[in-house]
Each structure stands twice: as structure tokens, then as C-alpha cells.
Structure 1
Amino acid sequence: MNDSTNRRKVPPLRIGDLVIDPPILQAPMAGFTNAAFRHIVREFGGAGLLATEMVNARGFVWLDENEAEHPDRLWGVADEPRPLAVQIWDNDPETMAKVGRRLAEEYRVSVVDINFGCPVRQVTEKAHSGSYLLREPNRMHAIISRLVEVCAPTPVTAKIRLGCNRDNINCNEIAHVVEEAGAAALTVHGRTAADMFRGNADWDRISEIKSHLRNIPLIGNGDLDSAEKVVAAFEQYDVDAVMIARACLGRPWLFAQAAAALRGDPVPPEPTLAEQRDVMLKHYGLVVDRFGEEKGTVLMRKYACCYAQGKHGARYFRTHVAKVSTPEEFHSVVEEYFPLRDPKEEVESATAS
């Protein structure tokens, strides 16, 4: 991992005039990648481009027309460091254009990303958006080209899946549509919509798409949960950048580890369990500062479960933290149940003695 002499140099990612270095992106994830999470990721470093949660364009327009506060998913966007991408979704070109123009002109975001990959039923079957639109290339073209027109010079990008299901994989065709419509980059999650998050991401399929693009970069996404896998993605597949998603939710330091590996530097070790607990508590403080003690505590439940994932005793912690509703309860559960002892270390210690 530390020998950079045999590794091909990975150049920065270019999205229009924007240079992303390192070419490691944080995925937009609904319910998770808010300003508090992005703050924690920035403190560790390593993410070349961060992204908000996906924003419902139609909901944004309604709030705007009714002079209500803009969506919580845009919390922090106006003031936080750049580069920053905001992802939006809907199926109407004009609705998307209204929001895209506001994001580019008022919020001055670095990238406006379009979600054509969400597989959740509420977005697909009920709203005919997200990955549903993979079956309507002409509408995708209309949405992208309209956003490119109103957002310029802010680059517009698109995120897709391989197709709606395994019998209808059309990512190569869609790649043509995305580029011809004027998008500045394409991100591909290596599963179909029907797969949801089951099975393994198909990086061979992702890599094949590169030959169907003329000038815009290809960003690969799916199952990147270690620095080693990030390096392997660049070495084994024809991609210009990678995007890390679910694996970073409880490990916001993963980007720094991956960036070090790409440089050929020593990979920072995992923080100790006590340090991980402290990161979680800092995260909790940021959420409470924004949403208040009651709402912030409830919102933090899912983040806390992510921080404990994969650790010895995580199930007991999840069971208890899922019920907390006050700061006192949260801190009490963390104190009593957050995993602070690694059973492997205990075994090693006992063997050594």
C-alpha cells in the first residue's frame, strides 16, 4: 500500500473548469450527508468533492413560492467551504431549471448534480423520478440540457445506475444521452435499480461505459469500503474518479485513508474506539446546535448506529440508542453501551500474557 513507484499516478478530476483533487467524491445520501456530517468529513480531509443530501426540486419550489424556509437539506450550503455539489431530483425540466438556477446564482454551488439513480419506491414509482427516468432517455436529455442552459457556467452532472433491472441494462445508451445533453461528468452506481443495495456492484460494467464517452469523465460508485478498494478501482478499471457512499457514514476518516493510499503514503490507522466515540459525540453536538435537543437527538439515532456498525456489542448499542429522545438519555447510552473494547485486542493481550 505504501509503494507509490509501481502505481500509476491518478490525475485530478476535471468537471468543466472545476479541478477535484484528490478524485475521491463523497456521495449524496438522503438523510445522512447534511452539513454536520460534511463538517466532520472535512476535518479528516481526503474528500475532493462533498455533496448534500438529494433535494426534492418540486418541494424546494413550493417552499420558495410560499416564502418558507428553504429545505433543511440545504442547511449550511450558503456558507460552507467549496467545492460542494448539490444533488436535485424531479422529472420536470422547468421545475429542475428553477432550482438549478437558484443553486448556481444564489447559493453559488460548485456542481449541480441530477439524481437519475435513486431506486426508492417513493421517488421512482410514486414520483416517476430518480432511476425511473432511465426508461425515458428523451426526458433525461431534456432535463439535463435545460439545467446546463440555466446553470452555466456552473457544471451540471448526472448520477445513474446500470439500468432499471438486470434485463434492461442501458447504461451505455444513457451515457451517450448524458454527454450529448451537455453534462460535465457522469457517475455510475454499479447496480440496477431493482438490485437496490443487494449483491455486489458490477465494476466491469461501470468500466465498459468509459468507451461510450467522448470527453466527459466517468466516476465509479459502489462497495468502496476501504483504502485498498479505492486504489484497486483506479488500477483495475477505466474510471476517472470514485465516489464513496455508505461505508463513510460511520467512518468519515475513510476519505483521508483512501487519499493517502492513492498518494502512496502510509494509510492512517483507524481511530481508536474511544476516538471514534468522541467523533460521534462531536457530530451529535453539531446536529443538536442546528435542530435543537429533542429533534437533534432523534435525528442522531441513525448516525450513532452507523458509528457502531461492525463493532463488538453494536447490536446492544443500537437497541438502546434507537429509543433515546433527550441528551441525557443519549449520553447515558453512549457511556454504557458504545463499544470501547475490541475483542481481538483482548484475545491478543491474553495470549501475550
Structure 2
Amino acid sequence: MPAPTALAPALRIGPLDLQVPVVLAPMAGITNTAFRRLCREYGAGLYVSEMITSRALVERNETTMRLVTHHESETPRSIQLYGVDPATVAEAVRIIVAEDLADHVDLNFGCPVPKVTRKGGGSALPWKLGLFTEIVRRAASAAGDLPLTVKMRKGIDDDHLTYLEAGRAAEDAGAAAVALHARTAAQFYSGTADWSAIARLKETVTSVPVLGNGDIWSADDAVRMMSETGCDGVVVGRGCLGRPWLFGELAAAFGADASRVDPTLGFVAAAFRRHAELLVEFFDDEGRGCRDIRKHVAWYFKGYPVGGDVRASLATASSLAEIDALLAQLDHDAPYPGAAAEGQRGRAGTPKRPALPEGWLEHRELDATSSGDLAAAELDHSGG
């Protein structure tokens, strides 16, 4: 595997100085404490929690309170909040500050999932620019010295782009950085990310860092994105699925002191086993931890000579002992398979018409109908 080389300044987000300009993107069901700890063991950067519903935090939902708890080894600590009501989001931020739950808060305006957008949340919300601005302004005020950032998409679709005006609004409202996933909600995760949009946002937002997200599958991609767009840092999502050591490769690419890895099948098996062990610790339940690692099997062993029977057994294992026995069957000396293990990871999906509240696109301000949809969105107690 060629080693990318580049130099880049450290990323500063408010008072936070990051050794490398790299952020782990929030991913539902993925970026829990276990995965964040694993990624941190390989590299450096800012590692963000799963998306946390603001109202669930305010109401101290049991699942949510566990999701916002960080391991003592995690520093700096980062939480991403989702919400649609300015008062509720601000109150959630106040709780985080008052109870010292994190060192950084990110606001989610990028989620394209229909159950979120059909209520006016996630990537649908910046279309209502006044509401977007009020949420960021009140959250930033509640955060005080804690850096508050914003993650968003280009817009709802190519005919309803919002990222440039939302970026300016976030900057003026007190955001410490703005991150752009360079796709629209309609694209979901399909197609190719439009890195030129990141460059345009960087030209528009000039007083705080601009971070780029989308199609970073390798350290080379991250270096190239920063070179082509001028962005101040990168946000890595699906590219690290089954490859937590990518953060070590990123650290090395940006000039930090990081160990080079040789991802033989034995190395990958050890990473998979460590991930399972951390999940068991996180859930405090061996069976649940071993069930949760199942979703990662295909990502870790993509391109490697692991037979279908072993893969299937790993995807049904219910104990660490079972996992150990299965991993022992592998050829640990099998070398990195090259291109077969590279490229896109996770589900891309297909372009689709975004699910939106009725009449959402007819005007930029809220009406009574839209407000009702938002109220329903705030009743989501899923904990993220």
C-alpha cells in the first residue's frame, strides 16, 4: 500500500487544537464509545459520538445518557446533537456544559434519512433559514466557551441548495467551524461527492474552519481533498468502516507521528477481535457486544481470503470464545489484497426524492403546518 505524503497545519476549532485535521463523522449504530476508542488507538483527531436527539437528552432518556458517556481515555470528547426546536437544542447544550459531558458539540443538519427529513429535521432544516440560524445562535450562546460546530449537506436537491447561505449564517451565529458533506439529501450516499462545493464554501466562510466530507476512502483522498478545495480539515465516515487503522494512515499523511501498519489478514483479525472486546465492555453484555460486531464482518474482511462459511459463522457468533475459534481458522499471514479491499464501503443507496413535510419547499419560513411537523420531530426519543 503506497504511503501518502503531505504536510498540513493542525486544525483549531475554537479552543481545541487537533494534532491532525481529521474528524470521525457521526454514524448511527457505529460511532459508539467502543469504535471511537478503537479508532483513537490507531490515530489522532476528533472522534464524534452517534447522533443524539436533543429532547431525549433533556428528558434524560436512559439509552441517550449512556450514549453521551465517554470513556476516561477519550479526549477531547465530542457529542453530536440533532434537534429542530431552538429552545430544546439550547437546553441540551446547557446540560452538556453544566454536567461536563463533552469538550465539543456538533449540530446535525445533514442527516438524509426519511424519518428525520419528513419531519423537517436533518438536511431538510436549513431550507428554513431563519429557524436554522436561530438554532445555531441559541446553541452557540448556550455553549459559551465550548466550541459548537455545524455539519450539513449541499441542500435538499440540486434545485434547492442551501449550503452557502447556511454556512454564512452559521458563521455569523457563532459556529466555531462548518462541515459540508458534499452531496444533497436527494443523493443520499449515492454518486460522487461534489468537492467543488467544499471549495465554494471555503471561499464563502472565511473566519472559521471549513471541513470537507464525502468520498474519503483513503489517506490519499484526504490529502487530495484538502489540496483541491483548500478546506481546513476532513470528516471521515464510511471510509473507516472495517478499517479503524485508517486514522493512523491519515495521521501519517498529515505529518504526525504514527505507526505504519501492514494490514495482513492477521492484523485485520486482531483489529476485529479488539473491536468485539470493546463492544462487550461498552454494552457490559458479552452476547450483545458479539451481536453488534456482526454488522462489521463484511467491512473488515472485504477482499480478504475468508470463506463464506467463516463469514457466516462470525455473523452469528454469540461469544468472544466463538469469535476466537473462528479467527484462529484464518491464514493470518495472508497479505493485504490491494484493490480488492479498497474503495467504497457501506451502503451507497440510490438517489431518491427526499421525504419532506407537506408544503415544505413552498417558502423559506415556517408556517403553522410546518411547525406542527417540527413538534412531532421533537417527540423522537430514540436516543440518536
Q: Give the structure-2-normalised TM-score.
A: 0.80
Displacement of 1:210: 1.1
Please tell me whether residue 57 in structure 1 is matched to residue 70 in structure 2.
no
Can you list the C-alpha shifts for 1:314-353, whole angstroms capped at 9, x where unaligned?
Answer: 76554443333344544444444798735969xxxxxxxx
Aligned residue number for residue 68 of structure 2: 74
Displacement of 1:309: 2.6
Q: Higher mean Cα deviation, 297-306 or 177-186?
A: 297-306
- Equivalent residues of 2:263, 2:335 under 8 A apart: no
Name which structure has the greater RCO, CA cutoff 8 Å, separation 6+. 2
Q: Partners in 1 of 2:274 and 2:4 — Cα distance?
A: 35
Q: Read off the aligned partner of 1:84 and give its amino acid letter.
A: R
Residue of 104, 110, 115 corresponding to 1:117: 110
Q: Measured at CA, do residues 138 and 302 of structure 1 come closer, stay the same or move farther in structure 2, by a change above 3 Å?
A: same
Residue of 201, 220, 224 corresponding to 1:228: 220
Can you list the C-alpha shifts for 1:199-232, whole angstroms capped at 9, x where unaligned?
Answer: 1111111111111113011000111111111111
Q: Partners in 1 of 2:288 and 2:143 — Cα distance?
A: 34
Please tell me whether residue 142 in structure 1 is matched to residue 142 in structure 2.
no
After superposition, residues 1-353 of structure 1 pair within 5 angstroms as 9-45=7-43, 47-63=44-60, 68=62, 70-76=64-70, 79-125=72-118, 127-263=119-255, 268-291=260-283, 292-313=285-306, 317-336=310-329, 341-342=334-335
- Segments of structure 2 that go 5 or more residues without pairing to the other structure are 339-384
Q: Measured at CA, do residues 310 and 131 of structure 1 come closer, stay the same or move farther in structure 2, by a change above 3 Å?
A: farther
- Equivalent residues of 1:88, 1:115 under 8 A apart: yes
Count of residue correspondences: 336
Can you list the C-alpha shifts for 1:177-196, whole angstroms capped at 9, x where unaligned?
Answer: 11121111000001111111
Q: Partners in 2 of 1:138 and 1:301 — Cα distance?
A: 43
Q: Partners in 1 of 2:238 and 2:46 — Cα distance?
A: 16
Q: Read off the aligned partner of 1:321 and give its amino acid letter.
A: L
Q: Give the structure-1-normalised TM-score.
A: 0.87
Q: Read off the aligned partner of 1:48 and give its amino acid letter.
A: G
Q: Partners in 1 of 2:158 and 2:262 — Cα distance?
A: 37
Q: Measured at CA, do residues 267 and 234 of structure 1 come closer, stay the same or move farther in structure 2, by a change above 3 Å?
A: farther
- Segments of structure 1 that go 5 or more residues without pairing to the other structure are 346-353
Can you list the C-alpha shifts for 1:19-77, whole angstroms capped at 9, x where unaligned?
Answer: 122111111111111111111112112x321111111112222335xxx4643322325
Q: Partners in 2 of 1:266 and 1:87 — Cα distance?
A: 27
Displacement of 1:249: 2.1
Q: Higher mean Cα deviation, 336-345 or 285-294?
A: 336-345
- Equivalent residues of 1:165, 1:194 under 8 A apart: yes
Q: Partners in 2 of 1:164 and 1:319 — Cα distance?
A: 38
Can you list the C-alpha shifts for 1:269-322, whole angstroms capped at 9, x where unaligned?
Answer: 442210110111111111112320221111111123321233344765544433
